[in-house]
Amino acid sequence: MPIDVGLKIREAGYSFSSDDYDIRQIIHVTEGELFIKEAAVRRIVPGATLVLFPHTAFKLFTRSRSYRGVYVIEPNVRIAAKRAASVIIPEDGTISAAARQVSEAIGRPSGMHREIVQAAGNYLAALVYAHIGDDKPEMRDDAFWIDFAKNLISCSLDENRHFGDIFRDIPFSHEHFTRMFKRLTGMSPKEYQMKERIAKACKLLAGTMNITSVAFESGYATSQHFAADFKTHTGMTPSAYRKKLSDGRR
């Protein structure tokens, strides 16, 4: 589990140096720009991700602009390949979506706030380390992969994608993982996805978005398919649900 997950806000003129860094940290930049000096100076722009490794020397700094981002710090863990310097991952849509989830989780306090933030941080870390080849699946327990899958599903609710594409980074067969998911959650991945899509649709129906757009945003190719699933799970059509919400506000 990450030992710390949070937001980074550093003003212009910020500077931090280390001769022997003692943790592994991910910094995903969302605004402004951050620089790192090792053998040369490199710039991390919005959408890019910096990965710092233990036992490395570097200087982080800003120039005339501040920067904002999200971070995940992990304790010293076994690393697949020893790194002599940091790694910068160029903008990646999946990693950026995971970073937004971290930011949204931090800004949405609830009774399970810490657990939700930790799960979002775990997901971001797993994506980043898989991207650079430093992830070790055997270091992660079943609960980690369930959280990982839930976040994958949440990130792709508006995409009509096959589960094989969604779960390509999970190191288990589809059949094995489906059994594990159902054992730990009480439902299959498909059932969980459906529950999350209907929950998202309910939130969107509380606004002014037309029902066809709600269907597309919730991952449905047609409004007819959406209406059928919505009625199966809620007992009413999307139009009737919206009317009920409207009547309740009067």
Burial class (CB in 10 A: 0-12, 13-18, 19+), 73: middle
What's the structural domain count of the chain? Answer: 2
- Residue 79: pLDDT above 70? no
In a domain, 47, yes or no: yes
Q: Mark which of 140, 175, 205 sits at the end of a domain.
A: 140
19 and 135 housed in the same domain: yes
CA–CA distance from 148 to each of 18, 36, 97, 154, 225 (Å)? 32, 30, 13, 10, 28
Strand extents, DSSP E, the chain: 4-10, 15-18, 24-32, 34-37, 41-44, 49-52, 58-61, 67-74, 87-89
36 and 133 housed in the same domain: yes
In a domain, 114, yes or no: yes
Give 32 or 108, the one with higher predicted confidence.
32
In a domain, 38, yes or no: yes
204 and 131 housed in the same domain: no
In a domain, 159, yes or no: no
212 and 136 housed in the same domain: no
pLDDT, averaged across the chain:
86
The confidence score (pLDDT) of residue 163 equals 73
197 and 128 housed in the same domain: no
Compute the distance between CA of residue 106 and CA of residue 121 in angstroms, rounded to an integer. Answer: 10
Query: How big is the chain, counted in residues?
Result: 250
| CATH number for the domain that contains residue 241 | 1.10.10.60
In a domain, 158, yes or no: no
Compute the distance between CA of residue 32 and CA of residue 44 in angstroms, rounded to an integer. Answer: 9
In the DSSP assignment, the letter for residue 14 is -
Give the residue among 55, 122, 51 at the shortest CA–CA distance from 90.
51
The confidence score (pLDDT) of residue 241 equals 95
Compute the distance between CA of residue 83 and CA of residue 235 in angstroms, rounded to an integer. Answer: 55
| CATH number for the domain that contains residue 111 | 2.60.120.280
pLDDT digits (tens, 9 = 90+) for 115-144: 778 888 888 988 898 888 765 544 566 777
In a domain, 89, yes or no: yes
In a domain, 171, yes or no: no
The helix/strand/coil state of 194 is helix
In a domain, 180, yes or no: no
Q: Mark which of 103, 123, 140 sits at the end of a domain.
A: 140
Kindly write down the DSSP assignment for every residue of 35-83, as one continuous string. EEESSSEEEE-TT-EEEE-TT--EEEE--SS-EEEEEEEE-S---SS--
**37 close to 79: Cβ distance less than 8 angstroms:** no
200 and 129 housed in the same domain: no
> Which residues neighbour 65 within 8 Å (Cβ) at sequence distance 6 or greater?
12, 32, 33
125 and 237 housed in the same domain: no
19 and 108 housed in the same domain: yes
Compute the distance between CA of residue 89 and CA of residue 128 in angstroms, rounded to an integer. Answer: 8
The confidence score (pLDDT) of residue 149 equals 82
130 and 31 housed in the same domain: yes
The helix/strand/coil state of 21 is coil
16 and 85 housed in the same domain: yes
Compute the distance between CA of residue 48 and CA of residue 113 in angstroms, rounded to an integer. Answer: 26
Compute the distance between CA of residue 171 and CA of residue 246 in angstroms, rounded to an integer. Answer: 46
Q: Mark which of 118, 140, 162 sits at the end of a domain.
A: 140
pLDDT digits (tens, 9 = 90+) for 216-244: 989 898 999 999 999 999 999 999 999 99
22 and 101 housed in the same domain: yes
pTM over 0.75: no
211 and 108 housed in the same domain: no
Mean pLDDT on 176-200: 91
Question: Domain range for residue 235?
Answer: 193-249
